[in-house]
Amino acid sequence: MTMMPAPAPSQLSAQTRLLRHLSKTLCLHGLCASSACRRARACRGDPRDCLQRYAPLVPEEAREGAKRMVDGWLQNLSFDELIEDEDVCDEVMALGDWAARVTASYPARAVAPKRNDLPTKPPGDVLQTAHSARLRRTPGPRIRSL
């Protein structure tokens, strides 16, 4: 897939935005060869190309679930109203299962701890090990780089 610089959101056509949303709903970023799409976990290229290339690899029931969700959105149905039909419910749940499998295939993202979550200074007796006491007593040689 060829990567083009992403245009500003105001420059994207409504159709392109809708196709990118559909691509993200189908989790095509998990199948995409583009590292930019995988990192962003969303389509960063041409969504028409992504849908044409990768949508057939998504399980059929999950694809049908995405279609039903778009149809329900166009009919202004709530999620609860949408899944009242048992067939639709199964397809939407298949889409959820597919999304969970794609998400599980990614390595866990490292989350930096918040400043409040950092450990506080331990009590003094913990710091008084022989090794740490020796390190504090003898400063190392000063090395200057040239």
pLDDT in tens, 7-63: 555 567 888 888 888 999 999 999 988 888 888 888 888 899 989 999 999 999 999
Q: Share the mean pLDDT of the chain.
A: 78
HSE of 96, CA atoms in CB hemisphere, 13 A: 8
What are the backbone angles phi and psi of residue 120, rounded to the nearest 5°? -80, 170
What pLDDT is attached to residue 17? 86
* pLDDT band per the 50, 70, 90 thresholds, residue 144: low
Q: For the segment 74-131, what is each residue's pLDDT rounded down to a tens digit?
A: 899 998 998 898 888 999 999 999 999 998 888 876 555 566 655 555 555 544 554 5
* pLDDT band per the 50, 70, 90 thresholds, residue 139: low
Distance separating alpha carbons of residues 121 and 84, to the nearest angstrom: 55
What pLDDT is attached to residue 106? 84
What pLDDT is attached to residue 1? 47
CB atoms within 10 A of CB 98: 20
pTM of the model: 0.63
